[in-house]
């Protein structure tokens, strides 16, 4: 049994999510210790527990230590089975972080898979659902992983209530490698500015601030931010909440950025913040934004062939996932260990899959 130190690197939930996914796919029994050791409240939260138990159900795993507050978990996977699954994170626990564990596993199922997850779709400290739909999905499609994402209902902190449905009709059971270092010239910027249980002008002001910030920095490409809002009698969300997700279409890639609304935060600040984050990603000239980079690492460690990618920032999350694929899959990785700097990363799989 392989032991993984959950206190390494970023020392949060990411090690657990990635380790469980790799365990299920590679058929390796693991023990994760010191779970979330670097967080103010170490141990499993409801969100992490949901991800583990959901993964266990899909791959018929035996799990030990799966309870809220636990700092050690044993995961012994079985075969990955297709079918329809429903999971509830509870309140506003992140749907997208649960899917970060389940999506790689679903790619290796023995038949089509549909996964419905309830919880928070647009909540702090996790990728918004529109980032999954418009940034993550195109990148995974480049690897040969085709799936559908249906946003049934948005869920914001603290009430949650969001529903997302993911369908994989033909699990690929492998991924293509990629060689994309530079983003290339900017072609256009797109985005969604949404609000629920709030007046339409919130979404409008967020979108207007995006355009103003990008124009202020002389972005010459077209900018199209779609508004999403609801008439009160048709607004079935628990809300309230708002946010902006932007994605830049470049010659070689798609880079994303986002910002969430919150009580006391003007809509203009939300829009300008999302635009500033996107400008920061584009300024590096690299093909993958910092959040896509850490999501992509496990897929490339499971790919057929060597990958070379340019990332906008070597965050602690990326660094941690690179370390983890070396531990679990014996993947060869090469990169300059200059944290918080742009980097070119080489990933050479050595697994038997």
Domain 80-173 has CATH 3.65.10.20: yes
> What angle in degrees, to the nearest 10, is found between the helix axes of 290-301 and 13-26?
20
291 in active site: no
C-alpha span between 17 and 22 (Å, rounded): 9
Q: What percent of the chain has pLDDT over 90?
A: 95
Q: Where are the domains of the chain?
A: 1-78, 80-173, 182-283, 286-292+301-353
Q: Residue 85: which pLDDT band, with cuts at 50, 70 and 90?
A: very high
pLDDT value of position 218:
94
Total count of residues recorded for the chain: 353
DSSP 171: -
Q: What average pLDDT does the segment 74-88 reach?
A: 98
Please give the class, per CATH, of domain 1-78.
Answer: alpha beta
State the pTM of this model: 0.96
**Mean pLDDT within 13-19:** 95
Task: Give the pLDDT of residue 44.
Answer: 92
Model confidence at 316, pLDDT cuts 50, 70, 90, reads very high
Q: Quick one: what percent of the chain has pLDDT higher than 70?
A: 99
pLDDT at 351 > cutoff 80: no
Question: Helix %, strand %, coil % for the chain, to 5?
Answer: 35, 30, 35
CATH of domain 182-283: 3.30.360.20
- Report yes or no: 260 and 196 within 8 Å, Cβ to Cβ: no
pLDDT for residue 134? 98
- Work out the number of other CB atoms within 10 angstroms of the CB of residue 129: 26
285: alpha, beta or left? (left if phi > 0; alpha if psi -120 to 50):
left
**DSSP category for residue 335:** -
Give residue 167's pLDDT: 98
As a whole number, mean pLDDT of residues 139-158 equals 97
Residue 204 has a pLDDT of 98
DSSP annotation string for 195-260: EESS-HHHHHHHHHHHHHHHHHTT--SEEEEEEE---GGG---S--EEEEEEEEEESS-EEEEEEE
DSSP conformational letter for 124: T
Q: What is the pLDDT of residue 250?
A: 98
Lowest mean pLDDT among 36-40, 142-146, 174-178: 36-40
| Banded pLDDT at 315 (limits 50, 70, 90) | very high
In this predicted structure, the answer to whether residue 303 has a pLDDT above a threshold of 90 is yes
325-351: average pLDDT? 94
- Predicted pLDDT of residue 353: 63
| Exposed / middle / buried, residue 106 (Cβ in 10 Å: 0-12, 13-18, 19+) | buried
Q: pLDDT per residue over 184-207, tens digit each?
A: 999 999 999 999 999 999 999 999
d(CA 139, CA 19): 21
- 37 contacts 52 by C-beta, under 8 angstroms: no
pLDDT band at 350; cut points 50, 70, 90:
confident
- Say which range, 14-18, 89-93, 188-192, has the weakest mean pLDDT: 89-93
Q: Which tens digit of pLDDT belongs to each residue from 237-276?
A: 999 999 999 999 999 999 999 999 999 999 999 999 999 9
Tell me the per-residue pLDDT of 43-63, one tens digit each, with 9 for 90 and over. 999 889 999 999 999 999 999
Q: Please count the helices (runs of H) and the strands (runs of E) in the chain.
A: 9, 18
Q: Do domains 80-173 and 182-283 have the same CATH topology?
A: no
Phi, psi of 152 (to 5 degrees): -80, -40
Residue 337 confidence (pLDDT): 83
Distance CA 266, CA 257 (A): 18
Q: What is the pLDDT of residue 352?
A: 59
Q: State how far the alpha carbon of 173 is from the alpha carbons of 34, 88, 137, 305, 345, in Å.
A: 31, 26, 17, 14, 24
Count of C-beta atoms within a 10 Å radius of residue 110: 12
Q: What is the residue-averaged pLDDT of the chain?
A: 96
* Active-site position among 156, 201, 317, 351: 317
């Amino acid at each position: 049994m392989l032991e993984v130190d959950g206190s390494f690197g970023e020392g949060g939930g990411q090690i657990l999510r990635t380790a469980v996914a790799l365990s299920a796919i590679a058929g390796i029994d693991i023990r994760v210790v010191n779970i979330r050791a670097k967080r103010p409240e170490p141990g499993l939260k409801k969100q992490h527990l949901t991800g583990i138990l959901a993964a266990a159900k899909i791959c018929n795993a035996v799990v030990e230590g799966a309870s809220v507050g636990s700092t050690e978990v044993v995961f012994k996977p079985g075969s990955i089975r297709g079918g329809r699954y429903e999971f509830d994170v509870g309140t506003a626990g992140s749907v997208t972080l649960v899917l970060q564990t389940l999506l790689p596993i679903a790619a290796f199922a023995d038949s089509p898979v549909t996964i419905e997850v309830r919880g928070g779709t647009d909540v702090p400290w996790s990728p918004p659902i529109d980032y999954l739909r418009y940034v993550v999905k195109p990148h995974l499609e480049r690897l040969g992983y085709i799936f559908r994402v249906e946003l049934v209902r948005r869920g914001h902190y603290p009430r949650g209530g969001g529903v997302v449905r993911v369908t994989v009709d033909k699990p690929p059971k492998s991924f293509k490698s990629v060689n994309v270092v530079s983003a290339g010239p900017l072609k256009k910027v797109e985005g969604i500015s949404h609000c629920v249980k709030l007046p339409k002008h919130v979404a409008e002001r967020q979108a207007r601030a995006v355009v103003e910030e990008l124009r202020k920095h002389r972005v010459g490409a077209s900018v199209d931010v779609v508004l999403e809002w609801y008439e009160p009698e048709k607004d079935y969300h628990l809300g309230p909440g708002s946010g902006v997700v932007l994605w830049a279409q470049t010659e070689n890639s798609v880079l994303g950025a986002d910002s969430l609304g919150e009580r006391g935060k003007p809509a203009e600040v939300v829009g300008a913040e999302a635009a500033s984050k996107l400008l920061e990603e584009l300024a590096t000239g690299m093909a993958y934004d910092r959040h896509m980079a850490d999501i992509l690492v496990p897929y490339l460690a499971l790919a057929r062939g060597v990958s070379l990618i340019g990332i906008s920032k070597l965050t602690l999350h990326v660094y941690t996932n690179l370390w983890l694929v070396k531990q679990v899959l014996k993947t060869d990785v090469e990169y300059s260990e200059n944290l918080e700097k742009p980097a070119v990363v080489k990933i050479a799989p050595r697994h038997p899959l």
